[in-house]
């Protein structure tokens, strides 16, 4: 079964063709990073406009790179939740129109869950029960998958997502957007023990909180450069030198990564999963991978970097498993849902029927 996946929930326009949920026939990603770098973050209206400009060429490129025509495509899978509403609308409208025109079954996919499915493109598919640490710009969650579509949310962030914390801390210390990769790079030459930053304790041992850590970085930078807490945060970075910047990047990254792994280790000990996967943009972080492999007593197969950040291969991959158990959606009825937990989709709620 060949599925065309379409993704446009944030600032990447992507299309991919996946065969039987395993084989990548094409994987096209058009990133808007250059445009949003000008503003230091994603501007929703600019993102939606840019998706409109490239969505058709990106889909056509995915077909031509796979050497396929529409006759070879069995179904379309598209991200319908969660994300920026204007961005989601572009991808879903394209998918709905194509499903009608080309007479293809259409499957609605949850973006965050799809991040986990990047791991099903590894040489060995992960085994159930599978513990997933989901760490993106919008989500930080620990989810126990018993089977496809059958999972339990063990814990999640109570405030900022970890990727958001990387992005905000990068802004404070004067590193370019997106913050995750620039902090990881600066941290390579920094001292991870230079600044002592707090790890939040939560009532639910699997929950996270990153907003206190971000504020602690802000206060520590203010102290380091000798100003009080009323000093504007956007003027701080100019007072830091490169050594301080690298030490802050390394100290923040160490604390954020340890916070994630403490929770994952506890869930691993409590639930004894057969596999552990990490998913989402922050899963590209090498320090996270290194520390997780050090701390957990099982082999972890990591997805390649380009499948950790937003892409449509993961959408088509989840679409394949979805298509085994679910009826297609009527293209005339599919609506976007900008905010939706993966435990609340029709697919997840259908688990008793699975
Ligand atoms: O999953 P993603 O591409 O988009 C969302 O669905 O949110 O994640 C984007 C997030 C951003 O916050 C970015 O800074 C972070 O992933 N990120 C990283 C790295 N690469 C991307 N964070 C830490 N280390 C990285 N190497
Ligand atoms: Zn994402």
Residue with token string 């697919």: 347
Whether pLDDT at 352 is above 70: no
- For ligand 1, whether the C-beta of 83 sits within 6 Å is no
Kindly state the average pLDDT of the residues 293-305. 96
Report which protein residue has its CA nearest ligand 1's atom 8: 281
Asked if 27 contacts 16 with a C-beta cutoff of 8 angstroms, the reply is yes
| CA 137 to centroid of ligand 2, rounded, Å | 7
Whether pLDDT at 111 is above 50: yes
Rounded to 5 degrees, what are φ and ψ at 124? -105, 125
Q: Please provide the average confidence, as pLDDT, over all residues in the chain.
A: 96
| CA 100 to centroid of ligand 1, rounded, Å | 34
The pLDDT of residue 351 is 66
DSSP per residue, 278-347: EESGGGG-HHHHHHHHHHSSS--PPPPHHHHSS-SHHHHHHHHHHHHHSPPPPTTT----SS--GGGSHH
Confidence category of residue 354, pLDDT binned at 50, 70, 90: very low
- For ligand 1, whether the C-beta of 136 sits within 6 Å is yes
Q: What is the pLDDT of residues 15-40, one digit of tens each?
A: 999 999 999 999 999 998 888 788 87
| CA 290 to centroid of ligand 1, rounded, Å | 17
| CA 320 to centroid of ligand 2, rounded, Å | 19
For residues 353 and 7, the model is more confident at 7
- Left (φ > 0), alpha (ψ -120 to 50) or beta: where does 126 sit? beta
Confidence category of residue 43, pLDDT binned at 50, 70, 90: confident
Q: Give burial (CB, 10 Å; 0-12/13-18/19+) of 118.
A: buried
- For ligand 1, whether the C-beta of 137 sits within 6 Å is yes
Helices (H) and strands (E) in the chain, counts: 12, 9
**Interatomic CA distance for residues 66 and 329, integer angstroms:** 25
**Interatomic CA distance for residues 86 and 43, integer angstroms:** 11
The pLDDT of residue 40 is 78
Kindly state the average pLDDT of the residues 36-64. 92
What percentage of the chain reaches a pLDDT higher than 70? 99
Q: Which of 193, 79, 71, 215 is nearest to 138 (CA)?
A: 79
- For ligand 1, whether the C-beta of 310 sits within 6 Å is yes
Instruction: Name the residue of 163, 186, 279, 287 to mutate for ligand 1: max ligand atoms within 8 A of Cβ.
Output: 163
Q: Which of 259, 303, 313 is nearest to 278 (CA)?
A: 303
| CA 180 to centroid of ligand 1, rounded, Å | 6
Model pTM score: 0.94
Rounded to 5 degrees, what are φ and ψ at 267? -65, -40
276 in helix, strand or coil?
Answer: strand
The pLDDT of residue 35 is 83
Whether pLDDT at 353 is above 70: no
Q: What is the pLDDT of residues 236-269, one digit of tens each?
A: 999 999 999 999 999 999 999 999 999 999 999 9
**Interatomic CA distance for residues 118 and 308, integer angstroms:** 7
Asked if 132 contacts 277 with a C-beta cutoff of 8 angstroms, the reply is yes
Confidence category of residue 300, pLDDT binned at 50, 70, 90: very high
The pLDDT of residue 159 is 97
Kindly state the average pLDDT of the residues 180-208. 96
Encoding tokens for residue 146? 């018993």
The pLDDT of residue 37 is 81
Counting ligands in written order, the one closest to the CA of 289 is: 1
**Interatomic CA distance for residues 172 and 239, integer angstroms:** 11
Cα–Cα distance list, 47 to 33, 96, 337 (Å): 10, 20, 17
- For ligand 1, whether the C-beta of 26 sits within 6 Å is no
Q: What is the pLDDT of residues 118-156, one digit of tens each?
A: 999 999 999 999 999 999 999 999 999 999 999 999 999
Domains of the chain: 2-121+307-353 (3.30.420.40), 130-302 (3.30.420.40)
């Amino acid at each position: 079964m060949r599925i065309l996946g379409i993704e446009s929930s944030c600032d990447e326009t992507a299309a991919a063709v996946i065969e039987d949920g395993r084989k990548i026939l094409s994987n096209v990603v058009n990133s808007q990073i250059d445009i949003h770098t000008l503003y230091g973050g994603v501007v929703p209206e600019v993102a939606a406009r840019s998706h409109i400009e490239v969505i058709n060429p990106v889909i056509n490129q995915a077909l031509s790179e796979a050497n396929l025509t529409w006759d070879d495509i069995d179904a379309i899978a598209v991200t319908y939740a969660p994300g920026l509403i204007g961005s989601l609308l572009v991808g879903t409208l394209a998918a709905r129109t194509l499903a009608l025109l080309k007479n293809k079954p259409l499957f609605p996919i949850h973006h965050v869950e799809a991040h986990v499915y990047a791991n099903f493109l590894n040489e060995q598919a992960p085994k159930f029960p599978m513990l997933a640490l989901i760490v993106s710009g919008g989500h930080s969650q620990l989810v126990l998958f018993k089977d496809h579509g059958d999972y339990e949310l063990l814990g999640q962030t109570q405030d900022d997502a970890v990727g958001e914390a990387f992005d905000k801390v990068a802004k404070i210390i004067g590193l370019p957007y997106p913050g995750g990769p620039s902090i990881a790079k600066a941290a390579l030459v920094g001292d991870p023990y230079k600044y002592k930053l707090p790890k939040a304790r939560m009532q639910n041992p699997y929950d996270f909180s990153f907003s206190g850590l971000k504020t602690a970085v802000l206060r520590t930078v203010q102290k380091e450069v000798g100003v009080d807490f009323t000093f504007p945060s956007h003027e701080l970075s100019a007072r830091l030198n490169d050594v301080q910047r690298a030490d802050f990047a390394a100290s923040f990254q160490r604390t954020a990564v340890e916070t994630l792994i403490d929770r994952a280790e506890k869930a691993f000990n409590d639930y004894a999963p057969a596999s552990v996967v990490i998913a989402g943009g922050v899963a590209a972080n090498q320090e996270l991978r290194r520390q997780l492999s050090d701390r957990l007593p099982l082999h972890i197969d990591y997805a390649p970097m380009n499948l950790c950040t937003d892409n449509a291969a993961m959408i088509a991959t989840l679409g394949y498993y979805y298509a085994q158990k679910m009826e297609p959606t009527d293209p005339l009825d599919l609506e976007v849902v900008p905010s939706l937990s993966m435990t609340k989709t029709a697919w997840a709620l259908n688990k008793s029927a699975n």
